[in-house]
Every structure is written in structure tokens, then in C-alpha cells.
Amino acid sequence: MQVKHQMCSERSSGTDDPEQDDNEKKTSCFSNIKIFLVAECALMLAQGTVGAYLVSVLTTLERRFNLQSADVGVIASSFEIGNLALILFVSYFGAKAHRPRLIGCGGIVMALGALLSALPEFLTHQYEYEAGDSWHAEDGRDICSNKSRSENRDSGFNCSNRANTNMMYLLLIGAQVLLGIGATPVQPLGVSYIDDHVHKKDSSLYIGILFSTLVFGPACGFILGSVCTKVYVDAVFIDTSKLDITPDDPRWIGAWWGGFLLCSALLFLSALFMFGFPQELDEQDINGGG
């Protein structure tokens, strides 16, 4: 009787542990290559969105901060500068490291870069436009371009503060460099992780789905830019019902910063999922995922 009781207790303790079963279910949620594909697609979609959104608001940034065309070109190319600085290093050494975690870290860096891109709006003065109908688009790129320094001082505009403009210019460049650095591990390590954990006959299908999602990113970015620029730039600080201009007015500047905040949140949430995936999937997970 004692032997039977001992065997039953050992059997029950070895197989009927609810905590162990729950742990197995939790770990198996991220041990599926299909779930990784969904998370990678979400991160690449957010990456493509923020890249296209920057292009859609470049002219707004140019008028808002009194930038030159050359300055805007440097800001637009800063993403590629940050990306090229680390692409070879990450592609070579990243394959030997924990790839999902590196992708997650890259997504968080991109989220930080998108957040810093919106920061100039909150560090500078509120946008002021000249009242009335005396200003026309052909008078200059913005209301400050044809004013003398004394006129700017008397009218209350802060247009001649070139140091402030340079600070915003450098901040935007640094933010775009961070976006480029963060985007470095997302695509190459994601493709290699998928290629290593699916059957060869299914690899092209998974990678095709991944890059198809990337195509929708620019479309989402331009749509987001169109929506945000229809909102007044300082709508959260002033009563917009008292404005005497509309989005059709050349003096109008839209809320360019709102899209960067939204993209930052999307990048951060998408990157968090990457930290749950293991460095390597088990054979049964590969078979189940493929």
C-alpha cells in the first residue's frame, strides 16, 4: 500500500503541476515563427511610416523654423547616414547575438528618434503669423524672410534668432540619425531570423509578406502627414476658434509634430514584443511554424 501511494504521489507531482503547464503555454506564445513574422511586420510598417512622414512635413519644417533648402536636404539624408554607419557591423556581428532582442533595441532607438523629432515644437516659441491679407506667398518663404532685424524686434517676432534655429536644426538632424541607427538591425536580422526558422520552400513566402508590409509604410506616412498638417501647429496651446486663417492660407503651418509622437508610440509598442522571442527556436516550433 505504501508503494502504491508513493507511485501515485510521484505521478501526480510530475504531471499535474498547473504552474508548469501555464509556464509552458506562456513561453510557447513567442516560440512561433508566425508570431515573429507579425511582430516584425508591425515594426517595419511603423519604420516605413515614420520615414515617409518626415518627407511629407519637410516643407512645413522649412517654414516653421526658417530653414534653408540645403538644411532640409541634410535633415532628410541624416537617416541614411545613421543607417550606413552601422549596417555592416550589425549585419556581421548581429547574426551571432540574440537577434530578436537586437531588433527590439533598434525599435526603441527609433522610437526615441521619433520622439526627439517632435521635441523642437515644445522648445521654441509659438508660431506667429502676420494678421491681415498683406502677406503673400511670393513675398518670401516665410513671414521672416523679408523683414529687417529692427522690424522683427519691433513686431515681436523672434525670426532673427539664428542660434535658436541652429539648435532646432541640429536636434532634427540628431533625431534622424537615431532613426537610421535604430532601423539598422530591423530588416537584415529579421530576414535572417525568418530564413533560419522556416522550411526552405516557405522562406520566400514569409520574406515576401514581410516586404509587402514595408510597402504600405510610405502610404501610411503620407496619409498621416496629410491629416496632421490640417491641424494648426499650436492647437494644444491656443484656442483655434480665434484663428483667422485656414489650411488653404499660405501662412498656415500644420501640427507636424503630432505624427512623430504617434509613430514613436507605435515603434515602442512594436519593439516590446521582440524581447519575448528566444534566440533560437526549437525544432518542433520550426515545424509548427513552417
Contacts of 71 (CB under 8 A, 6+ apart): 62, 169
Q: What local confidence, expressed as pLDDT, does residue 163 receive? A: 55
What is the C-alpha separation between 157 and 161, in angstroms, rounded?
9
Q: What local confidence, expressed as pLDDT, does residue 240 receive? A: 76
DSSP state at residue 96: G
What is the C-alpha separation between 93 and 53, in angstroms, rounded?
31
Task: Give the number of other Cβ atoms within 10 Å of residue 222's Cβ.
Answer: 15
Q: What local confidence, expressed as pLDDT, does residue 283 receive? A: 58
Where along the chain do its domains lie?
Answer: 34-126+149-289
DSSP 192-247: HHHHHSS-HHHHHHHHHHHHHHHHHHHHHHHHHHHHHTTSBTTTTTS-GGG----T
> What are the average pLDDT values for consecutive 10-residue runs of the chain, which has 290 residues?
43 47 52 90 93 91 86 89 86 83 94 93 80 44 41 44 72 91 91 88 90 90 93 84 82 91 95 90 56
What is the C-alpha separation between 51 and 32, in angstroms, rounded?
29
CATH architecture type of domain 34-126+149-289: Up-down Bundle (1.20)
Calculate the average pLDDT of the chain: 78
Q: What local confidence, expressed as pLDDT, does residue 8 receive? A: 42
pTM higher than 0.85 for the full model? no
The burial of 59, by beta-carbon neighbours within 10 Å (0-12 exposed, 13-18 middle, 19 or more buried), is given as middle
The Cα-based distances of 201 to 152, 195, 198, 212, 289 in angstroms read 67, 10, 8, 18, 13
Helix residue ranges per DSSP H, 30-98: 33-56, 58-64, 69-93
Return the closest-CA partner of residue 193 out of 79, 30, 45: 30
